[in-house]
Amino acid sequence: MRAARADVDLDAIADNVRALAAAVAPAGVCAVVKADGYGHGAIAVAQEALRSGATWLAVALVEEGAVLRKAGITAPILLLSEPRPDDVGAAIHWDLRLTVYTREGIEAAADAAAQEERTARLHLKVNTGMNRVGARPADVVALAQAVVAQPGVELEGVWTHLATADEPGNPFADEQLDRFDAVVAALVEAGIDVPLRHAANSAGALDHLRSRFDLVRCGIAVYGIPPSPELAGSAAALGLRPALSLRAEVAYVKTVDAGEGISYGQRHTFAEPRVVATVPIGYADGVPRQLAAAGGEVLVGGERRPIVGVVTMDQLMVDCGAPGAAAVEPGDEVVLLGRQGADEITAGEWAERLGTIAYEIVCGIGPRVPRHYG
């Protein structure tokens, strides 16, 4: 219906997961599908990832896990933060693996497990320096003992999260991994057997071999996007390729006279007459309003063309060249992200222009944009 769409290439997801699985073996791949699969569609990505060698999934919210279970997915699903006490019952009901890092969280899990009459499998999260959530390293053995002592709960994993793995040469990832190694050693010393240890995000999996342990939690790499520009080479070496493209059709074409401005605020003025194409996609769809001012371009007619004027809620305008020289018509394909001919615009390119990361770009593609799977 809409003349704007996001195409998700499930073969790319499959190839990316296969490449990651081969690279990190014997560690397993946990495909991170929070935030609706980074904007790609959680169910479709999860199913494809599991078909292609991922053995685990991870989500941020209980609701996200429930969506996957309702779709019939039976693979282990890790919840990446400790649920609020009120949400623990639902998390166990949907058979999610719970991350915990407080005594209250462990007790709530045990209570809810008893009520649901099933065993809750817990992963103890250690804060080794990210300082977002997680137990202090010095508290981990006591918390692990608390899990072991509780009926109805089982300690399945211990894990941490790296803050700088996407910055090659930053020594902090090794510092965090040293702290994590010490925690793992302390658990062994205390005679507590934890089957799964995990620490790597995509950047860790790609660039820090020692972070792979038993499982790598890969999000962005599954979608074929390098975690940072510095890791583009590592991602390319594995053959990772972006799964998502964002396209629209030219809706309207006109010539704008010299001296005219364009869009809200009239921030851009034409020195010469120009052919301008209007494209029916805007910031409500996840094309940032400031993309034009940041030098953003699209591919149309096999050429790179600049977005002109601020992006509006539902539409944006593209300078297609001088009258006579420009051949553009309503219905022509406009590529915002992806390939056209020999050229490609990546989420990383937008991110660099906008001073953010590619994650924010793909997660920002709104629910109004229909996803098509192929």
Enumerate binding residues for ligand PLP (CB under 6 A): 32, 34, 80, 161, 201-203, 217-221, 227
Backbone angles phi, psi at 77, to 5 degrees: -125, 125
| 34 tagged catalytic | yes
Cα–Cα distances (Å) from 139 to 101, 122, 199, in that order, read: 9, 16, 18
Backbone angles phi, psi at 285, to 5 degrees: -100, -5
Least distance in angstroms from the C-beta of 227 to ligand PLP: 5
Nearer to ligand PLP, 31 or 248 (CB): 31
Least distance in angstroms from the C-beta of 299 to ligand PLP: 26
Nearer to ligand PLP, 30 or 311 (CB): 30
Nearest-CB residue for ligand PLP: 219
- For the chain, give the number of residues: 374
Nearer to ligand PLP, 8 or 279 (CB): 8
Rg (CA), the chain: 24
Q: How far apart are CA 249 and CA 300, in angstroms?
A: 9
Least distance in angstroms from the C-beta of 222 to ligand PLP: 8
State which amino acid sits at residue 333.
Answer: E
Least distance in angstroms from the C-beta of 203 to ligand PLP: 6
Cα–Cα distances (Å) from 86 to 68, 82, 105, 345, 358, in that order, read: 20, 11, 10, 44, 34
Nearer to ligand PLP, 202 or 263 (CB): 202
Contact residues for 104 (Cβ-Cβ < 8 A; gap 6+): 85
Cα–Cα distances (Å) from 15 to 36, 42, 129, 280, 370, in that order, read: 20, 17, 33, 32, 23
Identified catalytic residue from 34, 125, 283, 359? 34
* 299 neighbors 334 (Cβ within 8 angstroms): yes
Nearer to ligand PLP, 221 or 299 (CB): 221
> In which residue are the tokens 């053959």 written?
239
Identified catalytic residue from 38, 70, 264, 359? 264
Least distance in angstroms from the C-beta of 217 to ligand PLP: 4
356: how many CB neighbours lie within 10 A of its CB? 14
Task: Name the residues annotated as catalytic.
Answer: 34, 264
